[in-house]
Structure 1
Amino acid sequence: MRANKKLWAAVTVCAAVVAGATGCSQGGDKATDPFAGLTADAIADKAVETTKASTALHMSGKGKTDGQEMSIDFAVDDKGNCKGSMQSPGGGKADIVGTGGASYMKADDAFWKSNDGGDESSDEEGAGIAALLNGRWMKMTDEGGAGDDGPAAFCDLKKIITDMDKDTPRKGLTRDADADVNGTPAVVLSKKDKDESTTFYVVKDSAKPYILRVVTTGGDEPGTIDLSDFDKPVTVSAPPADQVVDLEELMKGMS
């Protein structure tokens, strides 16, 4: 499963699901294996379908896009609430919160420059945005019809999980030796293509086989995503009005 490319394009990476507590044995004893008799592909099917029913999740990790590393620490639920932060290749950082159909971003100067292309003119644009915001939050809505590429994608759990479903391998998988992920016993499933390998870790629990971790090596977008806080509501408050600048008004100011 790759990181969500559309969210990466929007300055972060995203994709996948989350961990749950389990009392299963970590050992490989067939008698205690909740997936005994199932193929690796069948386990993957159960994990993905279970994940698609999630109502909230927390994701954190690092990955590369266009040869540059980015990181994310983000929580989102199915009510359009989200909050977290991201680190850009240039060392800049941005905080994001979303609620009530709007997303808000506050970032440092380095973030705006590094996400505006990196050339001289883009650096000037980034500096201009930073100056106009002056430490305030930028409000973004999807009223302009940007759809899948718009700001609403930040807080769209259904979209994130749908993309996860599309990018998660379900055929031709191999079950490797079980492992432990942050204290939780996990089944390890992997698949190798020509220049890329994907490994994902599933909670060793037949009732709640959520995906705990996804690791992609090789290829154009290597990275690792960890997931947790399954079904845990995300509590968010919009920034105070006097600390917010509307994106549309900001663009008018720049023009």
Structure 2
Amino acid sequence: MKVVSTAAAGLGALLLLSACGGGSEGGSGESSDQSAEEAAAFAEESPETIVAEAEKDMKALSSLRMAGSLTNDGQEISLDLALSTAGDCAGDLSLGEDASLELLSVGGETWIKPSAAFWEQFAGPAAAQVTEAAGDKWVAFPGDEADDFADICDLDSLLDEFNSDDSDEKIEVGGTEDVDGQEAVTIESTSDEGDAVTSWVATEDPHHILQVQVDQGDEPGQVTFTDFDAELDLEAPASDEVFDLSTFQPSAPQ
């Protein structure tokens, strides 16, 4: 389903933009653990050091929660998802103003629970019939469409986007700010194409990226990251709670 692959691509693009590299401006110092002095010292480090520490700590995660909004290929997408490197995830996606869905992925299988507006937007003339047939059940999609939804839950692939090795962006260290009760140092960058990106990196160890904001013309985005390494206790729906879309055959119009 194109809109879902667009969402996954948009997330990947946003995270790739947040992985800043290239030339730099900034100070230097020593950083280590969690004291106030050490956190202050980390905020004075060079951009390369801050980015390298953030990349290392993000890639070491087993799970996180991300929430925010982005625009990709003209599609506005809002999300609130908890994901693990095992490929499990749960949360909500909103596509445009009205279409929305719940997403659940457990043990390599993925289901969604769409709103009626979702079916109206993406199921065409069969929208009313599939809405009635699916009811309030979890929907299992066939083949590649199921893979599109699973891609959003692939935390390993998303974390791989935190890689500054190939970036030509110019970056600099900004000031420190509070992000949901955590002190963070801002990393600001502008690409050759003029895309402005700000990342907020925790000054205390581990140096997780707490928030990313992209000012990219008509495709802006902002995502926050929380619940690092929290356990995801998810269960697959029972068989009688699942509607298999591959078995759905809409009736001909009367």
Give deviations 1:29-80, integer Å, cap 9, x for gaps: 89932254x3213311221121111100000001122334221000011223
Asked if the contact 1:177–1:188 (Cα under 8 Å) also holds between the matched residues in 2, the reply is yes
Aligned residue among 198, 209, 212 for 2:210: 212
Asked if the contact 1:77–1:234 (Cα under 8 Å) also holds between the matched residues in 2, the reply is yes
Match of 2:11, SS?
coil
Q: Please state if 1:60 is matched with 2:60.
A: no
2-structure distance, mates of 1:39, 1:24: 19
Aligned residue among 54, 58, 83 for 1:51: 58
Match of 2:240, SS?
helix
2-structure distance, mates of 1:123, 1:12: 24
Asked if the contact 1:103–1:154 (Cα under 8 Å) also holds between the matched residues in 2, the reply is no
2-structure distance, mates of 1:24, 1:77: 29
Closer, same or farther in 2 for the Cα pair 1:11/1:198, shift >3 Å?
closer
1-structure distance, mates of 2:188, 2:223: 15
Q: CA deviation at 1:102?
A: 0.4
Give deviations 1:151-189, integer Å, cap 9, x for gaps: 321322211212343799575211111111111000100
Aligned residue among 9, 14, 23 for 2:11: 14
Structure 2 counterparts to residues 21-60 of structure 1, below 5 A: 25=36, 32-36=40-44, 38-60=45-67
Closer, same or farther in 2 for the Cα pair 1:66/1:103, shift >3 Å?
same
Q: Work out which structure has the larger RCO, using CA pairs closer than 8 Å and 6 or more positions apart in sequence.
A: 1
Asked if the contact 2:184–2:203 (Cα under 8 Å) also holds between the matched residues in 1, the reply is yes
Q: CA deviation at 1:148?
A: 11
Structure 2 counterparts to residues 103-118 of structure 1, below 5 A: 103-114=110-121, 116=122
Structure 2: 5+ residue runs without aligned partners?
Answer: 16-32
Closer, same or farther in 2 for the Cα pair 1:167/1:183, shift >3 Å?
farther
Structure 2 counterparts to residues 163-174 of structure 1, below 5 A: 163-165=161-163, 171-174=169-172
Aligned residue among 239, 242, 249 for 2:247: 249
Structure 2 counterparts to residues 174-185 of structure 1, below 5 A: 174-185=172-183
Closer, same or farther in 2 for the Cα pair 1:126/1:220, shift >3 Å?
farther
Structure 1: 5+ residue runs without aligned partners?
Answer: 17-21, 117-121
Aligned residue among 151, 157, 160 for 2:158: 160
2-structure distance, mates of 1:246, 1:167: 43
2-structure distance, mates of 1:204, 1:137: 41
Asked if the contact 1:13–1:71 (Cα under 8 Å) also holds between the matched residues in 2, the reply is no
Matched with 1:139 is 140
Identity within the alignment, %:
26
RMSD: 3.2
2-structure distance, mates of 1:6, 1:218: 20
Query: What TM-score does the superposition give when structure 2 sets the normalisation length?
Result: 0.77
Q: CA deviation at 1:234?
A: 0.9
Give deviations 1:91-145, integer Å, cap 9, x for gaps: 122101110210110011112233x2xxxxx53244443233222211247xx4x
Matched with 1:189 is 187
